[in-house]
Amino acid sequence: MSAAAQADNTPSFGDAELTHDHLVEERLVAWYLLAGLAYLFISMAGGLLMALQLVQWNPLPINEYLSPGRWRMVHTNAIAYGFLANCFLGALHWAIPRLTLKPVLNRALSYFIFIAWQVVVVSTAVGILMGQAQGVEWAETPVWIDPLALAGLALVAINFMAPIVQTKGPQYVTLWYFMAAFVWTFLTYAMGNFVPEYFVSGTSAGAIGGLFIHDLVGLFVTPLAWGLMYYFVPILLKKPIWSHGLSLVGFWGLAFFYPLNGIHHFLFTPIPDFLEYGAIVATIAVEFVVTTVIINFFGTLWGSGRAVVTNLPIRWFYTGMVLYFITCAQCAMQVTHTFQKLIHYTDWVVGHAHLVMFGVFSMWFFGMMTYLFPRLMRQSWYSRALCEWHYWLSLAGITVMFIDLTLAGIFQGFYWASLQPWEVSVDGSQPFWIVRVFAGLAIMGGQMVFVYNLWKTWRLSKQVA
Amino acid sequence: MFESKSGILLIAGLGFFLFSVLSNALVPVLLYKNLPEKTVEELADNQNLIYQFEDLSQRYPEQFEKYYGEPDQKNLAAALRLGRDLYVGEGCWHCHSQNVRPVSNESTRWGKVASSDEYQNELNRPVMWGTRRVGPDLSREGGRRGNDWQAVHLFNPQSLSPGSPMPKYEWFFDDKNPSMPNKRGIAVITYIQWLGSWLEEYPYYEDYKPLEDQMLNPLE
């Protein structure tokens, strides 16, 4: 945002109050991003353990706290609540005050939320490792943590809504996504962590569990992530989003169709067919909405294409968008009964999940980190080459993993349908599972390069000071 | 409206979310309103399951006596509840589904296609249809194999299923001995034997057919 725009929007503020330092608590942004990275490594450790278990090379002693079954849940929960949620909070502490030109409600509250959220995430991991998980995917959070997590989400919403409610007139696209996400995340968490466990059972619980799994991706991660893209991409490319009309279509289309998708996770279950078809149609509708968003962002890039080569954050962002389009195109196909017959319950779905969680949202965060860390440390990256390694190892790893697991899923589906003994599908999966271990190691290697680069950059920043 | 705070918070945030809950969650709840939800005590009143529970008490008399006492219905209900909690807590449901689909020859492999009445009970809060099958579906597993098979398989899956990627669950046993399932071990085995025990075609270990015969293509 230009200085002129700042002056226009906030006539009542003195210049002193409009400085970046007044708006953004940089230390907190850095803490959130670093916490996110720490959980990313915990999650990758869990993923690696499960991958090694599948190829029957689990190096750890047999111990219930090291059980791959429990670490598999730590893997997914650490990504959702540890890595993604922390990175979101860090990025929001940067973006919202700079966009609204108002600080968040209260700095002390911000720090309290930071600590409270780490307590929530660590307790979730400990609870799962103690064997107290609950039975809904991504809602495994033990029941005694759920109220605390909900209170935390409410505080987050209050803290960030304070600057947003002070702004006047129509809001910028980013804030549409953020505001909706604050409402949705709270409602989604409350629905998924209580209703199917305590209020309904059986088929109804399954339908609600499906809504929860999907809403967590679609109404918590997706809107916050797209909101950040609408914020960072125009700043980095130094031009406005291509079409405001398409931004409107993208937001309202997502808001209407995305919540209706949930049941597509449980096709061919006892859920009535008319509800399954409703979810299928809504899912295919989402794909059309996503296409408008992708067109809008590539329209924005048009004429600045070289930025993808020279500007690393832009490259991360647009790589993520291409993979997002692939994910959604794949989704529109795999959501049909035709595909479901073959690929449901196979590694195809696991490949899809990794593509969206790592290939899209994690990549966007790596882009944001590549942009933000030099600004937080007042020090440019120690090594551009290592940044390139981070990018190419991550991209190679996820590409191989996605193709590998997708193929594995097709093989598994045909093994099962052809009524061969179960072991045949397990034996036939081994080559794919072995490749997956190495793809995962490439991804881990990329993140290790990133952390090393970050550490060297931090050392440099201390020397300069 | 489309760019204002109230429009976004109320229409997109609250309104669309509530619409999705009404259409996708409330509709099934209302559809199954008249299907009574069974308690665990009602589920325990099942001859197939009582047979398995008594079998456990005879196969592992000291262990059973120590942790459960008598194989009565009250203890059976307690074992079912604990077994279900362990099945959830260990993440069994992440690699084993509980849903036989009407496609992909699944009813030939496992038996009756899943229906809502099977899931309308306290142990299906939440339902564990699952999203991935590394191992086979377990909703028809009960009675297919004996309690001794289940115990040894939990202790060391590879000893009975060579090449199986399933982790070992030694903490379900005392003294690292597959003949000594502890409270948790007996509970998990009871829960597994419960799966499918409500069906007419619940098989018994004594009727067990070799794997090759089970897997024969009936069309051949």
Verify that A43 and A55 share a domain, yes or no: yes
Verify that B11 and B60 share a domain, yes or no: no
The helix-helix angle for A422-464 and A363-377 (nearest 10°) equals 10
Verify that B76 and B124 share a domain, yes or no: yes
Domain boundary among A112, A141, A167: A167
Q: Which residue ranges of chain B lie beneath pLDDT 70?
A: 205-211, 214-215, 218-220
Verify that B50 and B14 share a domain, yes or no: no
Segment A23-34 mean pLDDT: 96
Which amino acid, residue B107?
S
Domain count, chain A: 3
Distance from CA of B101 to the nearest CA of A (A): 6
Verify that B126 and B168 share a domain, yes or no: yes
Does the pLDDT at position A273 exceed 80?
yes
pLDDT at A464: 67
Q: What are phi and psi of A13, to 5 degrees?
A: -95, 140
DSSP A260-314: G-GGGGGTTSSS-HHHHHHHHHHHHHHHHHHHHHHHHHHHHHTT-TTHHHH-HHH
- Chain length of chain B: 220
Of B92, B118, B127, which has the smallest distance from its Cβ to A69's Cβ? Answer: B92
The residue assigned the tokens 């949620």 is: A85
**Are B13 and A56 in contact (CB < 8 Å)?**
no
The answer to whether position B220 is within a domain reads: no
Verify that B82 and B142 share a domain, yes or no: yes
Domain count, chain B: 2
Between CA A229 and CA A294 the distance in angstroms is 11
Verify that A153 and A58 share a domain, yes or no: yes
The answer to whether position A9 is within a domain reads: no
DSSP type of residue B162:
T
What are the beta bridge partners of residue A345? B132
What are the CA-CA distances from residue B47 to residues B67, B143, B204 (Å)?
22, 12, 12
Residue in A47, A36, A56, A96 with CA at minimum distance from that of residue A74: A47
Verify that B195 and B92 share a domain, yes or no: yes
Verify that B27 and B47 share a domain, yes or no: no
Verify that A69 and A149 share a domain, yes or no: yes
Verify that B116 and B25 share a domain, yes or no: no
Each residue's pLDDT tens digit, A50-86? 999 999 999 999 999 999 999 999 999 999 999 999 9
| Token output for B82 | 């604990």
- Please, which pLDDT band fits residue A19 given cuts at 50, 70 and 90? confident
Verify that B44 and B10 share a domain, yes or no: no
pLDDT at A1: 40
The answer to whether position A294 is within a domain reads: yes
Verify that B89 and B136 share a domain, yes or no: yes
Verify that A79 and A138 share a domain, yes or no: yes
Nearest CA in chain A to B168: A62
Each residue's pLDDT tens digit, B174-217? 999 999 999 999 999 999 999 999 998 887 765 555 667 766 77
Segment A305-314 mean pLDDT: 96
**Are B9 and A187 in contact (CB < 8 Å)?**
no
Residue in A403, A404, A405, A425 with CA at minimum distance from that of residue A414: A425
Verify that A457 and A378 share a domain, yes or no: yes
C-alpha B55: how far from chain center: 19
Cβ-contact B192, B145 below 8 angstroms: no
Segment A157-174 mean pLDDT: 94
Verify that A208 and A341 share a domain, yes or no: no
Domain boundary among A167, A182, A197: A167
Verify that A200 and A64 share a domain, yes or no: no
pLDDT at B99: 97
Q: What are phi and psi of B114, to 5 degrees?
A: -60, 145
Of A55, A69, A184, which has the smallest distance from its Cβ to B94's Cβ? Answer: A69
| Token output for A460 | 């440099």
Verify that B90 and B179 share a domain, yes or no: yes
Percent of chain A having pLDDT more than 90? 90
Verify that A206 and A147 share a domain, yes or no: no
- Domain assignment of residue B7, given as a range: 1-31
Burial of A154 (0-12, 13-18, 19+ CB in 10 A): middle
Does the pLDDT at position A20 exceed 90?
no
Verify that A461 and A337 share a domain, yes or no: yes
Each residue's pLDDT tens digit, A204-251? 999 999 999 999 999 999 999 999 999 999 999 999 999 999 999 999
What are the CA-CA distances from residue B92 to residues A273, A316, A425, B197 (Å)?
28, 36, 19, 19
Verify that A57 and A184 share a domain, yes or no: no
| Number of C-beta neighbours around residue A445 at 10 A | 16
Residue in A417, A272, A418 with CA at minimum distance from that of residue B103: A417
- Domain assignment of residue A90, given as a range: 19-167
A64 contact residues in B (CB cutoff 8 A): 171
Residue in B197, B95, B195 with CA at minimum distance from that of residue A72: B95
| Token output for B161 | 């299923």
- Chain length of chain A: 465
Interface size between A and B, measured as CB pairs under 8 A: 239
Question: Is this prediction's pTM over 0.90?
Answer: yes
Nearest CA in chain A to B88: A135
Verify that B23 and B85 share a domain, yes or no: no
Between CA B193 and CA B142 the distance in angstroms is 4
The answer to whether position A312 is within a domain reads: no
Verify that A161 and A180 share a domain, yes or no: no
Between CA A131 and CA A126 the distance in angstroms is 9
Residue in A412, A377, A274 with CA at minimum distance from that of residue A34: A377
What are the beta bridge partners of residue B38? B121
pLDDT at B206: 54
B122 contact residues in A (CB cutoff 8 A): 201
Query: Is the omega angle on the peptide bond into residue B126 within 30 degrees of 0, that is, cis?
Result: yes
Verify that A292 and A331 share a domain, yes or no: no
Does the pLDDT at position A10 exceed 90?
no
**Are B90 and A206 in contact (CB < 8 Å)?**
no
